[in-house]
Chain A
Amino acid sequence: SNKSVSDAPIVQFTNCRILRSHQLQREDLWVRQGKILNPEKLFFDEKGSADIQLDCKDSIIAPGFIDVQINGGFGVDFSLATDDFKSGIDLVSQKILSHGVTSFCPTLVTSPPSVYHQVLPQLSIRNGGAHGAGILGAHLEGPFISKEKKGAHPEHCLRTFEAGAFQDLLATYGSLDCVRIVTLAPEMKRSSEVIQELTQRGICVSLGHSVANLAQAEEAVQHGATFITHLFNAMLPFHHRDPGIVGLLTSDKIPMISDGIHTNPAALRIAHRAHPKGMVLVTDAIAGMGLAPGRHTLGQQVVVIDGLNTYIAGTKTLSGSVATMDTCVRHFQEATGCSVETALEAASLHPAQLLGIEHKKGTLNYDSDADFLMLNDDLYVQATYIAGEEVWRQDALGM
C-alpha cells in the first residue's frame, strides 16, 4: 500500500467542477472510506496517491441534497397508521436518491396521538447507502398549530399545550427520541416553555401554521426557534405595521426559512434577497410525488394531484407538493436568477446548518461525509453518491 494512514482505496474524481467555499471550482474530489479526503495532506504526509481515477466528463459535483420536510412519496404517506412503517420509509428513501436527496427528515403532519405512538417508535435514525437516503430524524409538523392556518391539516386533531406545556407535547408524541424538527404556532399559550424544552433537547423548532404577530414570533426566536416552515404559506401575510412571522426574514437570529414550489416567483425573490444565506429548500412532498395525477391520501385527508398542484379533495386548499427536490432547486434558480452555487447551497449547506450538522453534511469540505451528486449544467442529477459509493445513476435512456 502507498499510504501510511489507511489501506482503504482512494478514489480521485477528475474533470469536474466542485462546489466548495461557495463557488464552483475546477478541482478534483478525493474520497476515502466514505469521507472527503484532503489530497495535499495525502501527498505530503502519507506520500499517497489515488488508486482509482474517474473522469466526470466536466460534471458539476455538489453536496447531496437534504430534504427536511417530506411527507411521503411514491404512494407512501408517513402519517398513515401502520405497523409496517419500515417498508414505506425504505421505499421513499430509495426512490429519492434519483432526485439527488442523500439525507432527509420524514415528516408527519397533524395526526391523532395514536398515530405518533404507533409510527414514531418504528423510525430510526440511520446512515444512507445503496439502500437509500439517510434518515436524520422526524419532522413533526403539528398538531400544535393554529386552527385558522391549519391548511390541509385535519381540524379535529389540532391540540394545545395550555394545560401541561411540554408534558402535553411529550404525551401527544409519545417519544422524542428520533425527532429532529417540530413545527408549532408560537402564539399558543406556554409555547415559550415548550420551545425552550425542545431546543434544550437539540430539537429544532420551526414556526408555521400560525397567526402569530411579529412580537410573538420574535419571542419564540428568543426562546430558541430557528426555522420558519414554508414561508408565506399558512401564516399571516406581510403587513407593514405588523409583518408577523414574515417579519423575521431580516433578523439576525432567524437564519432559516424554507420554500418549496408554492410561492409566486416574485415572493421567492423577495425572500431570497432579504435573507440569501437563510434559504432552505424543501419539497413538502406528499404521497403522490412520483405517481400519476389523481387521488392520494395525506394523513387523515384525501388530496388530488393536478399537474404540480395538490389540493384537498373538493377544495382549492393547497396541501403539500409533488415536485421533486431537484425540480425545486432548478425552479428556485430560475425564479430568483441566483447563481448555481446559491441554488445548490439552499438544498444542501443551509439545511445542514439548520440541523447543526454542517461539519459532516451539506459540504464537500475535507473530512465531511462523501454524500454528493454529479449534475449537468442544467442542474439535472446524473449520479448520486453516499459515503463515496455510487447509489444511483441516470441511465442512457434517461429513466
Chain B
Amino acid sequence: MRLVILEDYDQASEWAAKYICNRIIQFKPSQGRYFTLGLPTGSTPLGCYKKLIEYHRNGDLSFKYVKTFNMDEYVGLPRNHPESYHSYMWNNFFKHIDIDPNNAHILDGNAPDLQAECDAFEKKIEEAGGIDLFVGGIGPDGHIAFNEPGSSLSSRTRLKTLAMDTILANAKYFDGDLSKVPTMALTVGVGTVMDAREVMILITGAHKAFALYKAIEEGVNHMWTVSAFQQHPRTIFVCDEDATLELRVKTVKYFKGLMHVHNKLVDPLYSMKEN
C-alpha cells in the first residue's frame, strides 16, 4: 500500500482530489471509453469533492466521460430525504459538475426487490468494464462502505443491517435522534471494491485513528473489513496527522519519508485545458 500522510484535513482532501484529477486526465476518457469511479459519502470526502468541483469550475477537469458508482444507500429512506445518499451526492457533487445523469449510479434503497437491485448494480459495474478507481472511507469500526464487522471479505453488493457503532456515528445527521437513523442499507461488498483496479481510502481525524491502526498494522480480519485491502495490489491510504495517532512511530516515519515519491503522483497537476 501507499500511506500518504498530510498535515491536516484540507491538505489531505486536496491531495486526494489532485490524485483523482490526474488519474482521470491521464486516462484520456472519451466517447465509448469512460473512466469509472467508485464514490463514498459522509463527512470525510466533502473537502475532496469541493476541490474536484473547483477544478471543474476552472475548466481543468470534466466529468463528461466519467461513470460513477456510489458505495451505498440507506434502505427505506425516501430518495428526496435530505439525508439520503442521493441527496448527498446531488448537493455535494453532481449538481456542480457536468456528469451525464445516465452515468451516475447509486443503489436504490426503495427498490421493490432489494437483492435484485444489488445484483443489477454488480452487473452495471461489470458492463462498465469494472471500476478504475474506487474511493472510500473508513468507519470508526473499521468498515468499508457498510461492510460492518463480521462481513465476509469476499462479499458482493447486498443488504446489510447497520452496526450500533455506525448508527451512533450517523445519528448526528438525524438530529441526534437514534430512532430516526435507518437501520439497513444496500452496500457494495468488500469483494466488489477489491475488484477495482485501484483503491483509495480517505481517513482523517483522531476518531478514525484506531480503525486505521487495526486496518493496516494488524492482520486481515473480517472484524475490521478495511484490512482486506492489504491484499489489494494498488491501494492508497490518504490521511491527516490525527488519523495516524495510533500507528507506530516507525510506520509513520517510513511513509512520511516517501512523500517526495508520493507527491510525484499529484505534481504536476494535469488539466484538460492542455488537451
- Chain A interface (Cβ < 8 Å from any Cβ of B): 28, 39-44, 46-49
Contact = CB atoms under 8 A, between A and B. Distances in A.
A46 B102 CA distance: 9
B101 A44 contact: yes
A40 B101 contact: no
Nearest to A46: B101
A44 B91 CA distance: 12
Nearest to B98: A49
A40 B102 contact: no
B100 interface: yes
B80 A40 contact: yes
Nearest to A44: B86
A40 B100 contact: no
Nearest to A3: B101
B100 A49 contact: yes
Given A28-B95, A44-B101, A44-B106, 12 more contacts: A39-B90, A40-B86, A40-B90, A41-B80, A43-B90, A43-B101, A44-B79, A44-B86, A46-B101, A47-B101, A48-B101, A49-B100
A47 B101 CA distance: 5
A289 B139 CA distance: 65
B238 to A, nearest CB: 28
Contact of B90 (A44, A46, A48, A49): A44
Contacts of B102: 47
Contact of B94 (A28, A43, A48): A43
Main secondary structure on A side of the interface with B: helix
Contacts of B44: none
Interface in B153-199: none
A41 B104 CA distance: 13
Given A28-B95, A40-B87, A44-B90, A49 B101 contact: yes
A39 B101 contact: no
Nearest to B106: A44
A140 B125 CA distance: 66
A94 to B, nearest CB: 36
24 contacts: A28-B95, A39-B90, A39-B95, A40-B80, A40-B86, A40-B87, A40-B90, A40-B91, A40-B95, A42-B101, A43-B94, A43-B95, A43-B104, A44-B79, A44-B86, A44-B90, A44-B101, A44-B106, A46-B101, A47-B101, A47-B102, A48-B101, A49-B100, A49-B101
A46 B104 CA distance: 12
Contacts of B100: 47, 49
Contacts of B104: 43
Most buried by B among A40, A41, A48: A40
Contacts of A42: 101
A39 to B, nearest CB: 6
Among B79, B94, B95, the most chain A Cβ lie within 10 Å of the Cβ of B95
A48 B91 CA distance: 16
B106 to A, nearest CB: 8
Contacts of A44: 79, 86, 90, 101, 106
A58 to B, nearest CB: 14
Interface in B127-164: none
Contacts of B87: 40
Contacts of A47: 100-102
A49 B101 CA distance: 7
B82 to A, nearest CB: 11
Contacts of B80: 40-41
Interface string B55-99: 000000000000000000000000110000011001100110000
Nearest to B104: A43
| From B91, B95, B100, B101, residue with most partner A Cβ within 10 Å | B101
Q: Identify the 10 closest CB pairs spanning chains A and B, nearest first.
A: A47-B101, A40-B90, A43-B101, A47-B102, A44-B86, A49-B101, A43-B94, A43-B90, A39-B95, A44-B79
